[in-house]
Structure 1
Amino acid sequence: MGEVQFEGLVAMSSYYDIDSILTDAQKVPCTFELTVPGLGYIDGNLGQDMKQGTKVELPLWLGEMLAVSNNITLDNPSCLSPRVLNALKADPKTVDLRALAPHFYGLGARMLELYPYPDLIDTLSDTLKTRAAVIADQAHNPRGAIGEGADFLRGLDETERQLFRAAHDSAKGVRMWIAVQKKK
Structure 2
Amino acid sequence: MFNDCIIIYSIFGGCSQVEEGAKVELPFWLAQELYLRQAVSINVPACFNQKTRREIQADAANVDLRSRCPYFYEFGCKIAPLVGDRTIGKMLLSTFQMRYKDILTKAHTVAYAMASKFLTVLTKEETNLYEAAQLSMATFKKWRIGGPRFQRASVLGRKRKPIE
Q: Which residue of 2 aligns with 1:31?
A: 10
8 Å CA contact 1:25, 1:61 repeated in 2: no
Identical residues among aligned pairs (%)? 25
* Alignment partner of 1:170 out of 122, 136, 140: 136
Q: Which residue of 1 aligns with 2:162?
A: none
Alpha-carbon distance between aligned partners in 1 of 2:64 and 2:55, rounded to the nearest angstrom? 11
- With structure 2 as the length reference, what TM-score do the two structures score? 0.81
Instruction: Give the CA RMSD over aligned residues.
Output: 1.9
Instruction: Report the AA paired with residue 161 of structure 1.
Output: T
Q: How does 1:86-97 map to 2 (within 5 A)?
A: 86-97=54-65
* Alignment partner of 2:85 out of 99, 112, 117: 117
Q: How does 1:31-70 map to 2 (within 5 A)?
A: 31-37=10-16, 49-70=17-38
Instruction: Report the AA paired with residue 102 of structure 2.
Output: V
What 5-or-longer segments of structure 1 have no aligned partner?
1-21, 38-48
Q: How does 1:126-165 map to 2 (within 5 A)?
A: 126-143=94-111, 145-147=112-114, 150-165=116-131
- In the TM superposition, what whole-angstrom CA distance separates every residue of 1:125-174 from its partner, at most 9, and x where no partner exists? 1111111111101111152x444x54332110010011001100001111
Aligned length: 147
Q: Which residue of 1 aligns with 2:161?
A: none
- With structure 1 as the length reference, what TM-score do the two structures score? 0.73
What 5-or-longer segments of structure 2 have no aligned partner?
148-164
Q: Which runs of 4+ in 1 moved over 6 A?
A: none
8 Å CA contact 2:104, 2:133 repeated in 1: yes
Deviation at 1:78, TM superposition (A): 0.6
Alpha-carbon distance between aligned partners in 2 of 1:151 and 1:132, rounded to the nearest angstrom? 17
Compare 86-95 and 159-168 and name the one that shifted more.
86-95
What secondary structure does 1:31 align onto? strand
Deviation at 1:25, TM superposition (A): 7.0
- In the TM superposition, what whole-angstrom CA distance separates every residue of 1:26-62 from its partner, at most 9, and x where no partner exists? 431111122511xxxxxxxxxxx21012111101111
Q: Which has the higher strand share?
A: 1
